[in-house]
Copies of this chain bind each other. A is one copy, B any other.
Amino acid sequence: MANIVSYTFEQYCDRVTEFHGHLAPGMLVGGYMVDLALHNLPKDILFDVICETPACLPDAIQLLTPCSVGNQWLRVIDVGRYAATFYNKYTGDGIRVYIDIDKLTRWPAIKDWYLKLKPKKQQDRQQIFDQIKEAGTQICGLETIKVSSEFLTRPDKTVAVCPICHESYRSEDGEICPACKEGCLPYRVVAKTSSAGS
- Partner of A178 from the list B79, B99, B101, B187 (CB cut-off 8 Å) is B79
Q: Are A56 and B70 in contact (CB under 8 A)?
A: yes
Interface residues of A in 97-136 (CB under 8 A from B): 97-103, 114-116
> How many residues from A make CB contacts under 8 Å with B?
93
Instruction: Kindly identify which residue among B146, B165, B170, B186 contacts A148, using a CB–CB cutoff of 8 Å.
Output: B186
Quote the shortest CB–CB distance from A140 to chain B (angstroms): 5
- B-contact bits for A135-146, CB 8 A (1 contact / 0 none): 001111111111
Indicate whether A45 reaches chain B with its CB closer than 8 angstroms.
Answer: no
Asked whether, in the complex, the Cβ of A58 is within 8 Å of the Cβ of B69, the reply is yes
**Contact between A144 and B193, CB atoms less than 8 A apart:** yes
Query: Given A168-B82, A190-B145, A195-B142, A70–B54 Cβ distance below 8 Å?
Result: yes
Which of B50, B62, B73 sits near A186, CB closer than 8 Å?
Answer: B50
Instruction: List, sorted by A's number, 23 A–B pairs whose CB atoms are closer than 8 Å.
Output: A19-B68, A52-B179, A52-B185, A56-B71, A59-B70, A69-B76, A79-B177, A80-B169, A80-B177, A80-B178, A81-B168, A81-B169, A82-B167, A85-B187, A87-B187, A100-B196, A101-B167, A102-B166, A114-B168, A143-B192, A144-B193, A145-B189, A145-B190
Closest 6 CB pairs of A and B: A59-B70, A151-B186, A142-B196, A142-B193, A80-B169, A79-B179
